[in-house]
C-alpha cells in the first residue's frame, strides 16, 4: 500500500513546477519580447525573487564589512597605545636630561664664580647606615683626585675623599660621626667643631656660653685643620640651649646639603 506524499514533498513539487513554468515563460518571452502582459508579470516576479535573493547577500556583506572595520580599529588602537607609551618614555628621558642639565649648569656657575679649582663627579653609590655614611664617585686618580680632597656642592660641604682608585673614589660625608669640620659662626665669628651623631643630627660643639648664637646663624668652615678651605657653608643654626655648666652651649646645626638627594658634586683639587 502506497503512502500518500507528505506536505514537504508537495511544497517541493509545487516549487519545482513554478520554477519550470517561470523558466519556460522567460525563455519564451526572450523570443517574443517583454512588452506583453505576460512579460510584465514575469518581470514583476523576477524582481521580487532578485530582491529576496539579495537580502542574505547584503547582510553577509555588511557582516564582513563591519568585521573588517572593527579589526582595523583594533589594530589602529594598538598602534596608538604603543606610540603613546614610546612618547611618554621620551618625555621622561627629556625631563631627566633637563634636570641634569640644570644641576650641572648650577655647578658650572659655582665653579666659575668660586676661586677653587674643582672637578665635577657623579654619585654612583652610597652607604648610609648608622655606622658609615659614604658615597662613591665616578672619578678617581685618573682625573687628578686624591685622598683628603674636599667634596662640595654649590650648597655647601659634602665631605672629603677617604679612598681613591684610578677611576673611582669614596667620600666620607660630614653627616658621619667621623666627619668633623672646624667651623665658625658667620655673624659672631665664634669658633667650634661641627660633628654629627650616629643618628645624623648635627651640632656645633665647644661654643662658649658667653657668645651670642641665634637660630638662623650661618655656620662656615673656618679653614683650620688643613682639610676644608675657609668660608664653605656647613649649615644653619636651628636651636640653642644653655647647658648651665658655665662653659659651652649646645648648638644644633642643620647641614646645608641634603645628603639623600646627592647626584652631582665637585671635588676640590687641593694639594
Distance CA 128, CA 98 (A): 28
Distance CA 119, CA 101 (A): 16
**Which three three-digit cell numbers place residue 224?**
683650620
If we measure between CA atoms, which residue out of 228, 221, 224, 117 comes closest to residue 171?
228
Distance CA 80, CA 158 (A): 47
pLDDT of residue 13: 55
The answer to whether residue 150 sits within a structural domain is: yes
Query: Rounded to 5 degrees, what are φ and ψ at 165?
Result: -115, -170
Any idea of the CA torsion for 242, 244, 246, 251, to the nearest 10 degrees? -20
The answer to whether residue 87 sits within a structural domain is: no
The answer to whether residue 104 sits within a structural domain is: no
The answer to whether residue 123 sits within a structural domain is: yes
The answer to whether residue 139 sits within a structural domain is: yes
Decide if 126 contacts 138 (C-beta within 8 A). Answer: no
| CATH number of residue 192's parent domain | 2.40.10.340
Contacts of 71 (CB under 8 A, 6+ apart): none
What is each CA distance from 37 to 41, 42, 256, in whole angstroms? Answer: 6, 9, 108
Digit-by-digit pLDDT tens for the chain (271 residues) are 555 556 566 555 555 555 555 555 555 545 454 455 555 555 555 555 555 555 555 555 565 566 678 788 888 888 888 888 888 888 888 777 777 777 777 777 777 777 889 999 999 998 867 678 999 999 999 999 999 999 999 999 999 999 999 999 999 999 998 999 999 999 999 999 999 987 778 999 999 988 899 999 999 999 988 899 999 999 999 999 887 777 889 899 999 999 988 999 999 997 5
Domain hosting residue 197, numbered range: 118-268
The answer to whether residue 31 sits within a structural domain is: no
**3-class SS at 144?**
coil
The answer to whether residue 167 sits within a structural domain is: yes
How many domains does the structure of the chain reveal?
1
Q: Which helix (H) or strand (E) holds 61?
A: helix 37-113
User: What's the pTM value of the predicted model, to 2 decimals?
Assistant: 0.65
Residue whose C-alpha cell reads 648650577 in the numeric block: 106
The answer to whether residue 190 sits within a structural domain is: yes
Dmax over Cα atoms in the chain, in whole Å?
138
Amino acid at each position: 500500500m502506497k503512502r500518500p506524499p507528505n506536505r514537504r514533498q508537495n511544497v517541493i513539487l509545487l516549487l519545482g513546477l513554478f520554477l519550470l513554468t517561470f523558466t519556460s515563460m522567460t525563455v519564451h518571452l526572450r523570443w517574443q519580447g517583454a512588452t506583453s502582459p505576460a512579460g510584465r508579470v514575469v518581470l514583476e516576479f523576477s524582481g521580487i525573487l532578485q530582491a529576496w535573493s539579495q537580502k542574505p547577500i547584503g547582510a553577509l556583506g555588511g557582516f564582513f564589512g563591519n568585521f573588517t572595520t572593527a579589526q582595523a580599529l583594533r589594530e589602529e588602537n594598538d598602534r596608538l597605545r604603543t606610540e603613546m607609551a614610546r612618547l611618554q618614555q621620551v618625555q621622561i628621558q627629556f625631563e631627566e636630561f633637563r634636570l641634569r642639565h640644570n644641576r650641572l649648569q648650577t655647578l658650572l656657575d659655582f665653579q666659575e664664580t668660586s676661586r677653587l679649582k674643582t672637578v665635577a663627579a657623579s654619585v654612583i653609590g652610597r652607604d648610609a647606615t648608622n655606622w658609615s655614611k659614604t658615597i662613591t664617585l665616578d672619578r678617581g686618580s685618573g682625573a687628578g683626585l686624591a685622598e683628603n680632597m674636599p667634596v662640595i656642592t654649590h650648597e655647601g660641604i659634602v665631605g672629603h675623599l677617604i679612598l681613591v682608585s684610578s677611576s673611582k673614589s669614596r667620600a666620607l660625608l660630614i653627616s658621619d660621626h667621623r666627619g668633623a669640620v672646624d667651623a665658625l659662626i658667620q655673624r659672631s665669628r665664634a669658633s667650634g667643631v661641627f660633628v654629627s651623631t650616629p643618628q645624623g643630627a648635627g651640632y656645633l660643639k665647644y661654643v662658649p656660653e658667653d657668645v651670642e648664637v641665634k637660630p638662623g646663624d650661618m655656620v662656615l668652615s673656618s679653614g683650620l685643620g688643613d682639610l676644608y678651605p675657609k668660608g664653605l657653608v656647613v649649615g644653619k643654626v636651628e636651636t640653642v640651649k644653655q647647658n648651665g655648666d658655665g662653659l659651652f652651649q649646645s648648638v644644633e646645626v642643620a647641614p646645608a646639603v641634603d645628603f639623600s638627594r646627592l647626584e652631582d658634586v665637585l671635588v676640590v683639587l687641593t694639594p
